[in-house]
Structure 1
């Protein structure tokens, strides 16, 4: 994806932070955007090349996550998006129904872990607006989830980048692979845990 390559090429400039934040915000509506992989890669670069700054990466990812979540939440609340054709597919409807059920039973844990479940962030934002979860509580959940997600993404990259003897490129590849494996494991664990109460 060109946007991904543009951000990676800007890793040694100040533009990486606002560009990364925008990238994360957009992924609230367009889940295929690989935001976790992007920030894992940038985290690895921060450990191997000392640029960009890891703490600023976490802050940028957090800002983008909250802005994207709140934007999606407000959009759905102000429009009858639940009835749009784009959300009428069987898979999306099933995910929305599951999100609403989980929000009604344990909203805090679902919002905190939704980013590690396929389509979790989008369906959680939509379901939170439809249910509805009060705006103030939603923002608090989004901030907490954003802290967890951004620290996880940048942290995995940074840890991989600190492994001795690895080139920058190989550290990035290792970091992304570890992140994908951990993400699948977390997704499976979250799904299993939530199903205990279903």
Structure 2
């Protein structure tokens, strides 16, 4: 069974149609986040390292192009129907919180949030929809999103390529290692984000209660007697 799966995967990865598949999956992931784009690109990176197919740089190019196109579809969905989508969300749900995060982050960081959100599960779609719904300039959106898409393609394929190289030519072990690395990075990011939010809430609570941290005044040496 395992041998048949490995043979199927090798044939799939060596097919010229794999590039269209990667592009399509990355495109759909831009506005339909259930599609596992990272999984596809990491897998391509693993097989590029272990078998030489697909071609790594070409897989990165089509993944980035698909992500860029998908993000723009999401942006235009947000521009035409974003307000209605937001109003239908129940406050406090995970999706509503993602939209709240995206809106606040866009207000604080501007286009840079597009790069950050590309690496957050579900966050990329919420952010691109929000940028469209608030009328964020298309030219700026395209600029920042191109950086996000390219860096994401390099990052995802790079994880797979590194994992495949580390296990010395075993695609199955390479896939397990690659997915493990990706999950670990996501977990670290989520932990750091949680700790930062918790620290922020604590500071706000102290400010609300009127507790002001004491800052020691600098000690000034007395002037030397003339």
Q: Is the pair's TM-score, using the shorter chain for normalization, greater than 0.5?
A: yes
> Structure 1 194/105 Cα, relative in aligned 2: closer, same or farther at 3 Å?
farther
150-159 or 177-186: which moved more? Answer: 177-186
> Structure 1 86/39 Cα, relative in aligned 2: closer, same or farther at 3 Å?
farther
Rg (Cα) greater in structure: 2
Q: Tell me which residue corresponds to 1:112.
A: 115
Tell me, in whole angstroms, the C-alpha distance in 2 between the residues paired with 1:7 and 1:20: 14
Q: Aligned with 2:30: secondary structure? A: coil
Check conservation: 2:99, 2:127, Cα contact below 8 A. Answer: yes
Alignment partner of 1:99 is 2:82: no
Tell me, in whole angstroms, the C-alpha distance in 1 between the residues paired with 2:181 and 2:44: 14
176-185 or 50-59: which moved more? Answer: 176-185
- The total of aligned residue pairs comes to 192
1:83-114 alpha-carbon deviations (Å, 9 max, x no partner): 23895133222221221111011023311111
Alignment of 1:92-171 (within 5 A): 92-171=95-174
TM-score by length of 1: 0.86
101-110 or 50-59: which moved more? Answer: 101-110
Alignment partner of 1:172 is 2:195: no
Tell me, in whole angstroms, the C-alpha distance in 2 between the residues paired with 1:109 and 1:188: 21
Alignment of 1:1-198 (within 5 A): 10-78=12-80, 80-84=81-85, 88-89=89-90, 90-189=93-192
TM-score by length of 2: 0.76
Gaps of 5+ in 2: 1-7, 202-226
Q: Aligned with 2:13: secondary structure? A: coil
Higher relative contact order (CA 8 A, sep 6+): 1
Shift of 1:8: 7.5
Q: Aligned with 1:52: secondary structure? A: coil
Check conservation: 1:7, 1:16, Cα contact below 8 A. Answer: no
Tell me, in whole angstroms, the C-alpha distance in 2 between the residues paired with 1:84 and 1:60: 30
Shift of 1:196: 7.8
> Structure 1 19/147 Cα, relative in aligned 2: closer, same or farther at 3 Å?
same
Gaps of 5+ in 1: 1-5
